[in-house]
A and B are shown apart, each in its own frame.
Chain A
Amino acid sequence: MKVVMRLIIFSIILNMATGILINQIVDSEGNKIFDGDINSYRGAIPNYNPDALGQFETVDSDNLAPQSVLQSASDAFYQLLDKIGLGFISRFFTIVGKYLYGFPTYLQTLLSKYIDPATGNFIFDALVILINLAYTFAGIQIWSGRNLFHD
């Protein structure tokens, strides 16, 4: 339980530390060191990831039109409301998932360039399985009050 809470907190803090380093650390000439400017030597560290918005867009980007003559136009309004609600729920769970599994994702993003792809997939999949186990035990402890490790 303690380990699981520390893992979640540490992945949030890693996120924060990355942002602080990218935005606040400058060299002796006042230029940002880790800003990901393509024209400089800093090259490969991206400072913005547009994929972060994808999950919400794919939920509600469909057109809303009546599907047949039998369907009244007002159904589209309820479809829109449904999709807003579903989009909110979907985005909420995506963000929760990002924080629950952020640590292996972060490590994979950071290290996968320097590791053979097959080895990297094996290591990070194993890490995700370990974290799943930890979450399972923490969930059992929250649900039943029993610590399966007896420590």
Chain B
Amino acid sequence: MTNVVGWDELYNGSLVSAAYTMYDYYMGNTGWPITILFFVFQYMLYIKTKNLNLMFVTAIFFVSMFAVSTFVQPLAVEIMFAVLVFELAGIIYLWLFG
């Protein structure tokens, strides 16, 4: 008999890692939970503040912390890169021509 998914991490007292392992297992071990969190986070910031600069800076914080974590995935970094590129392009465009 083996433990359920995420139980080992929970038993070690690492709550974040346990939650990530559980969600990631049921989404197919592809690293999508953090990407979805990132989108939700950005969308909430957008609907609450409509502030592109704030979104970009907090996204950089998010990606910086994610990049040094142990559960980083290349696909998630690529998707965040795409989102960041469009945000920065929007910022520069509004800055120059807005």
Q: Which residues of B contact A (CB under 8 A)?
A: 60, 63-65, 67-68, 72-74, 77-78, 81-82, 84-86, 88-89, 92-93, 96-97
* A141 interface residue (CB < 8 Å to B): no
Is there a chain B Cβ closer than 8 Å to A146's Cβ? no
A10 touches B68 (CB 8 A): no
With a cutoff of 8 Å between Cβ atoms, the chain A residues found around residue B72 in the complex are 41
Point out residues on A near B: beta carbons under 8 Å.
6, 9-10, 13-14, 16-18, 20-21, 25-29, 31, 33-34, 41-45, 110-111
Assess the A21–B78 pair: CB atoms within 8 A.
no
A34 to B83, alpha carbons, bound, how many Å? 13
CB closest chain-A residue, reference B82: A110
User: Complex Cα distance A134/B94, Å?
Assistant: 22
Number of A-B contacts (CB under 8 A): 65
A sample of 17 cross-chain residue pairs with beta-carbon separation below 8 angstroms, ordered by A number, consists of A9-B97, A13-B89, A14-B86, A16-B92, A17-B88, A17-B89, A21-B85, A21-B88, A28-B64, A33-B67, A33-B77, A34-B81, A41-B73, A41-B77, A42-B67, A43-B77, A110-B82
